Structure 1
């Protein structure tokens, strides 16, 4: 039995009525389809506008220097408010927040699709980010409370991880296709029918989930952690634009660290903390989220150097470059569907290690990429197998970080996991961009390739660091778990 599974057996109450079910009933199957469809839509929404940014800028009159705020405004809210909304879901009802967030998402998508000026579009992106911060942890906590710990939860989280990761790739490809064939506005409108379909069906099949006693919301903790996360994400995005030594990056990063220290001090003193330090002190939660942060940071940020490689070194078009990442998507689907079986055989801790080693090896293999198109086979094979390993880590992280906790804490656990995901996605590309740019000795193809190799090497080293933290700090968690 793995460390996480041992903790779960010791700490988590079993499901009512005996052993956890091992077969999907028709209702559970429909619940799973609804939750998976929603999570896939949210993941695709994160990336769907990236390809269309120049077209949107020309169409609405965005100054080039402000174009990045179309993505940044979304990322700030999606990452900054996730932990708060995860706890709100625990307190006031997960289904209620899930459905309410979908209503906001649908309305914001209509607003964005109809926008005639930059201010309206940014407002729509802020609302989409807030909706994502509400729906994602609420949906994940509905999943973990609908499927008790065991094979069904592992299968559900495996499919969820695979579809989320595939959604990021699909979003980039879909954004390009919709922009080319129809209009960038359809990148917004495509959310609406999916959200409406879920809103019609979900209230009939998804049961409400909330604690019997409603504790008070930790307002000082909520304010300090939300502002702290907003500042850190802002600093990371500014670092990618202005450089890591700029005041625009250092000031918000420093403010974010101070606010998170204030948050820690608040949580030690309030009677009903937003994040009980006993929960955060469990190795399965703390180090599981470290593994997840590294997994999301490394795989999503690898898209940046590979996109530059395909277009600026090999000379492929943006559409061909985008379609090439379909192989990476296939790898993540393969890893996500295999992960539950792997976890069932070797446990979640060993799955984190095996997946991380697989990702490390095939990320490092990309250092062999050359300046001829014959290197495409290496990129495709490395991307596919690295995607398999990455998804083993992501599913292992989700199982580890949400196990051994009572149902009343699942919103908190999934809020932490979702925050980890959003921060990892947000900070990865600025880090890889800064590393690659600093390492480039010129503007020619060979100089660009040299800088990209440095970024790939750093990426592989970070993945290996995640393997080491899982191997070292999850060891002996049973004896020290609280």
Structure 2
């Protein structure tokens, strides 16, 4: 999907060039030792951030018992993180473009390490929730900045595709590893180690990154579009909060019914403000790019479907087959392996065919093996079907995710890569937040409030069918709206 016109390389790759200024050197055609080190540092950080999304899921009951959370209050451990992580991603992504991506990246990692230490030492629900909000803000800052540093360090083409493929593989593997690691740490040590594990990793990256990654920022510093920043942040916060409340209490809950339209209205006003702003937070010409707009739609669908499938299979494994939380988490190791394989294959598929081929082919593979899960039965013999289906479906999903990342960051100059990766990260995090409430509502409607193993099995089966249909919708979007320009080699 790389363009034949190569953008100016970023200062990250050529340390001799002044920050934000182009260089006349030819872009690298292979991974040099320096680029390998840059890639390793950024991938370790992104893996840790992905782990942080899921590491507390299994530990929630233990945290509730240890700190005295009420049953209804437990959901706020996840909600507080999701609100700040999704709500502030676009804002921090653009801030990185304005004041320096490395600065935002390092600040985010420092905040993550500090908030993880505070969370692990927490002695009350209030302290732990404060730490979770700070962890979400750290993720909102570090994730798009890290992706922008990655895309500006590698020019459009095979090198960037390979880097994004490895990033996608480790990111998805991090979600799976987080569930397994959280269960192991909670069972063998304490839930507190689900927080503490971030601290040494953050310190290691903070120690190495300043010597490896050069600052990347524009030569001039335009003013921050404060009205736009406030509107988009409040709009996203309202939508994410509405989604979490819908997942917890149902789509007819008054809070969900008020928050979701309010969020949509705020985002509409944001669009109107950006049309008139002299220096908009999100330039509308970026949103009008076919690759950016449809790429992010595909990313949203990819994360909605795969993360919600994990939720559905967790219900099936625990409520229908009677697995423990730890055993269910270990069952997803196979899915994680599939995503790693998919991430490695994605750059090769894109290089030999096109990004649209990866998106369509990966979507068909994911949809087909999601549909296979409709055959799951009420006995453990179904594991012989579930494990290979999730492995192959994971490969397909990762082809789509890498294709989405390549699509959504292509054709933009380096000074707008923070915005592009901020939009991509926002799609990712909103998709993660959106998937579970949607599928939870489908299961609830299908079971009509009955919680027997058979009823839950039926509800999960109906939701899996909806999930597969959403994947096919993404395939249709990619096939229709991302036409391949064979002469340019891109979608």
Choose from 259, 268, 273 the match for 2:280.
273
1:401 aligns with 2:408: yes
- Tell me the residue number matched to 2:43: 36
The CA distance in 1 between the partners of 2:9 and 2:477, in whole Å, is: 29
Q: Is the contact made by 1:172 and 1:322 (CA closer than 8 Å) also made in structure 2?
A: yes
- Tell me the residue number matched to 2:234: 227
Choose from 425, 431, 436 the match for 2:443.
436
1:217 aligns with 2:213: no
1:95 aligns with 2:92: no
- Tell me the residue number matched to 1:321: 328
Structure 1 residue runs of 5 or longer lacking an equivalent are none
Partner-residue secondary structure (3-state), 1:139: helix
Q: Is the contact made by 1:284 and 1:477 (CA closer than 8 Å) also made in structure 2?
A: no
Choose from 351, 357, 362 the match for 2:364.
357
The CA distance in 2 between the partners of 1:250 and 1:148, in whole Å, is: 44
- Tell me the residue number matched to 1:67: 74
Distance 1:391 1:247, change over 3 A: same
The CA distance in 1 between the partners of 2:238 and 2:5, in whole Å, is: 38
The CA distance in 2 between the partners of 1:239 and 1:227, in whole Å, is: 18
Q: CA deviation at 1:437?
A: 1.4
Partner-residue secondary structure (3-state), 2:412: coil
1:367 aligns with 2:374: yes
Choose from 165, 189, 212 the match for 2:172.
165
- Tell me the residue number matched to 1:378: 385
The CA distance in 2 between the partners of 1:422 and 1:194, in whole Å, is: 22
Choose from 192, 213, 221 the match for 1:185.
192
- Tell me the residue number matched to 1:447: 455
- Tell me the residue number matched to 2:474: 466
Choose from 311, 315, 319 the match for 1:304.
311
Partner-residue secondary structure (3-state), 2:186: helix
- Tell me the residue number matched to 2:181: 174
- Tell me the residue number matched to 1:413: 420
- Tell me the residue number matched to 1:144: 151
The CA distance in 1 between the partners of 2:440 and 2:282, in whole Å, is: 33
- Tell me the residue number matched to 1:54: 61
Partner-residue secondary structure (3-state), 1:244: coil
The CA distance in 1 between the partners of 2:325 and 2:74, in whole Å, is: 19
Choose from 387, 390, 398 the match for 2:394.
387
Q: CA deviation at 1:473?
A: 1.2
Structure 2 residue runs of 5 or longer lacking an equivalent are 11-22
The CA distance in 2 between the partners of 1:18 and 1:370, in whole Å, is: 60
- Tell me the residue number matched to 2:349: 342
Computed over aligned residues only, the root mean square deviation of the Cα atoms, in angstroms, reads 1.6
The CA distance in 2 between the partners of 1:275 and 1:9, in whole Å, is: 26
Q: Is the contact made by 2:363 and 2:396 (CA closer than 8 Å) also made in structure 1?
A: yes
- Tell me the residue number matched to 1:109: 116
The CA distance in 1 between the partners of 2:27 and 2:475, in whole Å, is: 31
Return 313-322 or 356-365, whichever deviates more.
313-322
- Tell me the residue number matched to 1:422: 429
The CA distance in 2 between the partners of 1:74 and 1:189, in whole Å, is: 17
- Tell me the residue number matched to 1:239: 246
TM-score (norm 2): 0.94
What are the within-5 Å matches in structure 2 for residues 9-24 of structure 1? 9=4, 12-13=7-8, 16-17=23-24, 19-24=26-31
Size of the alignment, in residue pairs? 475
Q: CA deviation at 1:14?
A: 6.7
Runs of 4+ in 1 over 4 A off after TM superposition: 10-16, 476-479
Q: CA deviation at 1:475?
A: 2.4
The CA distance in 1 between the partners of 2:334 and 2:438, in whole Å, is: 24
Deviations 1:386-436 (A, max 9, x none): 000000000000001001000000000000000011000111111111111
Deviations 1:253-286 (A, max 9, x none): 0110000001000000001111111011000000
Q: Is the contact made by 1:440 and 1:451 (CA closer than 8 Å) also made in structure 2?
A: yes
Distance 1:146 1:106, change over 3 A: same
Deviations 1:54-110 (A, max 9, x none): 110111111111110001000110000000000000000000111111111111011
Distance 1:457 1:101, change over 3 A: same
Q: CA deviation at 1:18?
A: 5.6
The CA distance in 2 between the partners of 1:62 and 1:243, in whole Å, is: 22
